[in-house]
Amino acid sequence: MPNSSRLAGANGKRRMAGRIFIWSLLLFAAFVYLTPLYVVIATSLKDLAEIRAGALLDLPHELNFSAWQAAWSNACIGVRCEGLKPYFLNSILMSVPAVILSTALGALSGFALSKFRFKGANTVFSLMLFGCFIPLQIVILPMAQTLGFLGIANSISGLILVHTIYGISFTTLFFRNYYVTIPNDLVKAATMDGAGFFQIFWRIMIPLSQPIIVVSIIWQFTQIWNEFLLGASFTTGGAQPVTVALNNLINTTTSVKQYNVDMAAALIAAAPTLLVYVVAGRYFVRGLTAGAIKG
């Protein structure tokens, strides 16, 4: 008994030491990761005099939101002094339709490829999957030619089309891998009852698809909102999304570099994606694991 007690005590101490080490490592990683965010927030709440006089990690002496107001409505971006507001609205007008369209089309194609098997289905899926690995730089020229042919170059509509097409490969992959986990007997029973493709999709598959719909929406919204290359390549002036406007604002030459305005603008541009992950991040993880059983 004494030996077993000493052994249990030693095992307990090792487990405790392991927990302390893991928590220390996690806290250090969190500190390293969150320090830049803290610096950005603190700098955005200081005036220029306080930024020059104080240290980088100092808290602001008082909360000053003038930089936020300037970044939103007064900051000069090139020759236009209107802040990020119109470009932020451009990103909303671009992201919401593109997310809805790419998610809907991905759900339809994923359903067709998983439950309605046809000759060449695996080849079609492989080709669509290949689209996930095509670098954007390769398709910029053909995309530009297509937008010019359709007459929607340098417009929000053109960006919606581009992001919808580019996102279908990812959403198809998500939905196809999720739908293969749903028993085929449900589809067979509905077919025997006379239900068609769209009836089965709308009345059976969509009600079962909430987890993967959340994954698709979060993924697509994050990718589209944060995307820079396509916005910089296909739009100019007032049609640009917020990421391009942020880059132009930071690189605009002024007599005095306004670091607080730049930091506030960066936070404004990043706020929607941060909010999405804070509110729905746990549903994103659940949705990914829901389709990971087989595929």
**Is residue 221 very low, low, confident or very high in pLDDT (cuts 50, 70, 90)?**
very high
Closest C-alpha to 96, from 234, 276, 232, 249: 276
Fold of 80-290: MetI-like fold (1.10.3720)
* Angle between helix 156-179 and helix 136-150 axes, rounded to 10 deg: 120
Q: Where are the domains of the chain?
A: 2-64, 80-290
pLDDT(96) > 50: yes
pLDDT(291) > 70: no
Closest C-alpha to 108, from 206, 252, 255: 206
Cβ-based neighbours of 145, under 8 Å, separated by 6 or more: none
**Beta bridge partners of residue 80, listed in sequence order:** 77
Mean pLDDT of all residues in 136-162 = 92
Low-confidence winner among 28-42, 154-168, 184-198, 209-223 (lowest mean pLDDT): 184-198
Across the chain, what does the average pLDDT equal?
86
**Is residue 28 very low, low, confident or very high in pLDDT (cuts 50, 70, 90)?**
very high
Mean pLDDT of all residues in 195-217 = 89
Render pLDDT for 104-144 as a digit per residue (tens, 0 to 9): 999 999 998 888 877 877 888 888 888 888 888 888 999 99
Q: Which H or E element spans position 76?
A: strand 76-77
Q: What is the pTM of this model?
A: 0.86
Mean pLDDT of all residues in 221-230 = 94
**Is residue 216 very low, low, confident or very high in pLDDT (cuts 50, 70, 90)?**
very high
Distance CA 119, CA 113 (A): 10
pLDDT of residue 271: 93
